[in-house]
Amino acid sequence: MKLESLKVALIQQSCEEDKNKNIKKTCELIKEAAISGAKLVALQELHTSLYFCQNEIIQNFDLADEIPNNTTNIFCNIAKELKIVLIISLFEKRTKGLYHNTALVIDSDGSIAGKYRKMHIPDDPAFYEKFYFTEGDLGFKPIKTSIGNLGVLVCWDQWFPEAARLMTLNNADILIYPTAIGWDPSDNDKEKERQKEAWITIQRSHAIANALPVLSINRVGFEGDIDFWGHSFACGCQGQIIKMADSKKEEILIADLDMTETEKIRRIWPFLRDRRIDNYKDLTKRFID
């Protein structure tokens, strides 16, 4: 599928405890996005709940969804109704005692096009994800849809150039990062700014290194010890910002992607031609002592 351009919508929202209320609000925002003409709508990480990983609580495993279930059906139905490709994010229950942080891609006919299980799992104070999520075992494979190959990665993956590169080598057309990242309120303003800038910069760098558009979708709102910093954005193949949201507001960020850019930019910046693959094998090492 070769598109010349693609209108996308990134839905940046806050969440509350009630799952049904979250889903209801999200569905209203998805409808608005579709009315604006978006053909691809992407949601933030774990959008049906609060960011529950701030504490290690056994009962939180009740929040997990099997695929398919009522939750996924709601989103499949709305994708079909609106004829959009939709990226949702779930706490996936794979079997008893085995859970993943999973992005699901639903095609415009309502079918599940594929899933991506978060490969890099963080674990830091207030982000206790290694307790909840087993690291993904599906690799870095773009998901084929009617609008192209979607290189969906999730949050912590965004700090790893390897993930973006592998999606590229597997022929992704776009890189997409559903995210839940925020500030620790006890940090000073300079540190907060450095962190947010670093987060934007590294994702723009994946666009540049691979000549692919990048979409990043983050939540807003204060939950427990985290002030989620929003700043969802779309950038083009040279890392240039197309649209960016602010740090506080719920927003449907609409952006037009020029899907002819990758071909053009890779001709002037032919990085894929020049990779020294004969010298990269140590990338599979932890460290070289």
Q: Decide: is 264 part of the binding site for its own copies (CB under 8 A).
A: no
Q: How far is the CB of 189 from its own copies (least distance, A)?
A: 13
Would residue 45 show up in a list of annotated catalytic residues for this protein?
yes
* Nearest to its own copies of 140, 229 (CB atom): 140
* Nearest to its own copies of 52, 156 (CB atom): 156
Q: Element (H or E) spanning 53, and its range? A: none
Give the Cα separation of 64 and 94 in Å (integer).
9
Q: How far is the CB of 281 from its own copies (least distance, A)?
A: 5
Q: Decide: is 149 part of the binding site for its own copies (CB under 8 A).
A: no
User: Would you call 251 helix, strand, or coil by DSSP?
Assistant: strand
Cis amide linkage into residue 68, ω under 30° from 0: yes
Q: Element (H or E) spanning 75, and its range? A: helix 70-82
Q: Decide: is 263 part of the binding site for its own copies (CB under 8 A).
A: no
* Nearest to its own copies of 75, 236 (CB atom): 236
Interface of this chain with its own copies, residues 237 to 256, rule: CB under 8 A: 238-240
Give the Cα separation of 139 and 135 in Å (integer).
10
The span of 28-36, 67-75, 80-88, 120-128 binding its own copies (CB under 8 A) equals: 120-128
Choice from 160, 192, 243, 244 touching its own copies (CB under 8 A): 160
Q: Decide: is 131 part of the binding site for its own copies (CB under 8 A).
A: no
Give the Cα separation of 132 and 127 in Å (integer).
10
The span of 37-45, 173-181, 195-203, 242-250 binding its own copies (CB under 8 A) equals: 195-203
Q: How far is the CB of 148 from its own copies (least distance, A)?
A: 17
Pairing of the two strands 214-218 and 233-235: antiparallel
What's the N-to-C CA distance of the chain in angstroms?
Answer: 46
Catalytic residue among 118, 129, 223, 251: 118
Q: What is the side-by-side order of every strand in the sheet holding 220-223?
A: 182-183, 226-229, 220-223
Beta carbons of 9 and 42 less than 8 angstroms apart? yes
Choice from 111, 146, 149, 205 touching its own copies (CB under 8 A): 205
Count helices and strands in the chain by DSSP H and E runs = 7, 15
Give the Cα separation of 56 and 131 in Å (integer).
7
Catalytic residue among 15, 76, 155, 237: 155
Could you tell me which of 89, 4, 15, 74 has the C-alpha nearest to residue 39?
Answer: 4
Choice from 100, 204, 219, 231 touching its own copies (CB under 8 A): 204
Q: Element (H or E) spanning 86, and its range? A: strand 85-95
Q: Decide: is 171 part of the binding site for its own copies (CB under 8 A).
A: yes
Q: How far is the CB of 287 from its own copies (least distance, A)?
A: 6
Would residue 118 show up in a list of annotated catalytic residues for this protein?
yes
Structure tokens belonging to residue 206: 């994946």
Give me the residues that bind its own copies (CB under 8 A), please.
Answer: 119-122, 124, 135, 139-140, 156, 159-163, 165-166, 169-171, 194-195, 197-198, 201-202, 204-205, 208-209, 238-240, 268-272, 274-277, 279-288
